[in-house]
Amino acid sequence: MAVFAVTYTYGPDTDTRMSVRPAHREWQAAQLEADTLLASGPLEDELTPGGLLIMQGESKDQISRLLTQDPYHDAGVIAETVVRSWTPVFGPFEA
């Protein structure tokens, strides 16, 4: 399976994002259990808040479709999603 680095850039509606966060994290937990999500967490040290998800799947298209099921997507709190193929060389996700 291929590995992908996904970055979210969040929009300015922090109140909605915080209210949807429990559902977003439940969705992530389900992806972790399905072995699709390898790791995730917020990008808090940036001027624009966002998140990083390390995911694995058959293709970039499959991951992109899966991301549309994230409650954050439905809530409209993600301003930008970038899915990039990633080749881990060192660490727990190395190929």
> What pLDDT was estimated at residue 45?
75
Q: How confident is the model at residue 83 (pLDDT cuts 50, 70, 90)?
A: very high
Among residues 24, 56, 21, 50, which one has the least CA distance to residue 37? Answer: 56
pLDDT tens digit string along 12-32?
Answer: 999 999 999 999 999 999 999
Among residues 22, 53, 52, which one has the least CA distance to residue 36? Answer: 53
Q: How confident is the model at residue 49 (pLDDT cuts 50, 70, 90)?
A: very high
> What pLDDT was estimated at residue 42?
93
For the chain, percent of residues with pLDDT exceeding 70:
97
Pair 16, 75: CB distance under 8 Å: yes
> What pLDDT was estimated at residue 95?
60
